[in-house]
Chain A
Amino acid sequence: MPQLIVIGTSLGGLTALPVLLQTLSPALSTPIAIVQHRHRDSRSGLLDFLQPYTTLSLREVEDKDPIQPRTIYLAPADYHLLVESHQFALSIDEPVSFARPSIDVLFETAAESFGKEAIGVILTGANQDGAQGAATLKAQGGTVIIQDPTTAESPIMPAAVQANTSVDWVLPLTQIGSCLNHLCLATRKSRSS
């Protein structure tokens, strides 16, 4: 059963994330961590912006926050977000492929901690951050979903993932939420029955 969903996006993410969040089932209990590239000066603006689109609780990560169900975690501006077994860690290490927070760092550490119990989602974006991380996640047995590059506001990021990883799902934005609901809620049902 999936333990963590990690999501990465840059250019276009502020339009895509609300759509995705609105299509998530309120019954979804799998924790979600999001890296949205943004300017280092932007403080909690992203949290206020996204809150209206979800009933799940939304939180900007603080150091060593435990990873809890029914919660969406945002990488804070200017920090890398790392998964450390059942908690998060932060770092102000150098930017990775020009980005801090880096999608690669989140995906790689999620892969290390959760392997096949992690799901990675790459949405619209204008750089290649996430390509490495998605490949690692896949190699560790995780599931990789990308927004169909032909429908993405900026196709570069999902296309870069597609170029070096055999992704599990290529979906238009509007269907990614229901795919996640299906993967996380369906497995639970089949387990308990």
Chain B
Amino acid sequence: MKNDLEEIEIQLLLEGIYQYYGFDFRNYARSSLHRRIRKILADENLPYISDLQARILHDPACLQRFLLGITVNVTSMFRDPSFFLAFRQRVVPLLRTYPYVRIWHAGCSQGQEVYSMAILLQEEGIYDRCRIYATDANETVLKQAENAIYPLELMQQYTQLYLQAGGKQSFSEYYTAAYGNAILRHSLKQNIIFSQHNLATDRSFNEFHVILCRNVLIYFNADLQKHVHYLFHESLCMLGILALGRQESLRLSPFQSHYEPIANREKIYRRLH
């Protein structure tokens, strides 16, 4: 019956964090959440989740560690290169017809996905017309995203992915190496606005031509996914593009029938009504 007790403790913990700090993890997918909480418990060297609850509620520094530990922030430039290739081939031609394009990256993590998009749009010659809103619930990763500085050793892998994604230049043109880091070219940041936004608790803040939300919904349960799909539907203009992660779909969206796939395998959809 240990597991039932653990489930009760986790519910109390999440409820406490929500009531006191306003961060809402109550509808996150349980399996991954449990694993992360157990990891935090071990890192904090505490025996019970109830102890963790006390520490988080009384020590804001512990909350910060919890916030970093509870969400998965793993990301990459040009993750799933075939997605970016499809975006280049199928979506960019549509975007060319707009005088002005607003793009929302929801759950942008440390920013690699956003800069990949900026590179793509620059190479296609439409970046000047685009404004990218990059949001994440986590302040720490958002700061890293704004810095645009990544470990140099990742660049070799990113270069491979960039080429598979249909990159047209030499990838090394996009960064300067310094002290083991790669600093991304400043011009990439030009049209990006970074801000904190929580998909579970914050509202729609603009109308977009493109919304990308990849590998974020997998961490939510069916109810929260439904809620986020309402938010996206509300925030996407008619004929706007919605892009999800490779293993995600519109199956749990109440608006499934409002979209048509334009690159089904890559999970790129267009809003019809």
Binding site for B on A (CB under 8 A): 43, 60-64, 76, 79, 82-85, 89-94, 105, 109, 112
Contacts and interface: CB of A to CB of B under 8 A. Distances in A.
B185 interface: no
A89 B247 contact: no
B96 to A, nearest CB: 29
Contacts of A90: 218, 247
B62 to A, nearest CB: 21
B246 A84 contact: no
A14 to B, nearest CB: 21
A63 B219 CA distance: 9
Most buried by B among A64, A76, A83: A64
A76 B31 contact: no
Nearest to A62: B247
A89 to B, nearest CB: 5
Contacts of A43: 82
Contacts of A79: 247
B107 to A, nearest CB: 12
A94 B215 CA distance: 13
Contacts of B32: 82, 89, 91, 93
Given A91-B218, A92-B72, A112-B3, A62 B248 contact: yes
A84 B215 contact: no
Given A63-B218, A91-B219, A93-B72, A84 B251 contact: no
B195 interface: no
A180 to B, nearest CB: 24
A64 B31 contact: no
Most buried by A among B31, B74, B218, B252: B31
A60 B34 CA distance: 24
Contacts of B213: none
A63 B31 CA distance: 12
Interface in B77-131: 82
- Smallest CB-CB A-B distances: 9 pairs: A84-B31, A82-B31, A63-B218, A91-B32, A90-B218, A89-B29, A89-B31, A93-B72, A63-B248
Contact of A64 (B82, B222, B246): B222
Most buried by B among A60, A61, A84, A91: A91
A84 B215 CA distance: 17
A74 B249 CA distance: 17
Contacts of B252: 64
Nearest to A108: B35
Contacts of A84: 29-31
13 contacts: A61-B247, A62-B247, A62-B251, A63-B249, A64-B251, A76-B246, A84-B29, A90-B218, A90-B247, A91-B72, A105-B35, A112-B3, A112-B34
A64 B220 CA distance: 10
A64 B222 CA distance: 8
Most buried by A among B3, B29, B215, B222: B29
B165 interface: no
A117 to B, nearest CB: 14
Contacts of B13: none
A108 to B, nearest CB: 8
A175 to B, nearest CB: 32
A130 B32 CA distance: 18
Contacts of B29: 64, 84, 89
Contacts of B218: 63, 89-92
Contacts of B248: 62-63
B49 to A, nearest CB: 15
B182 interface: no
B217 interface: yes
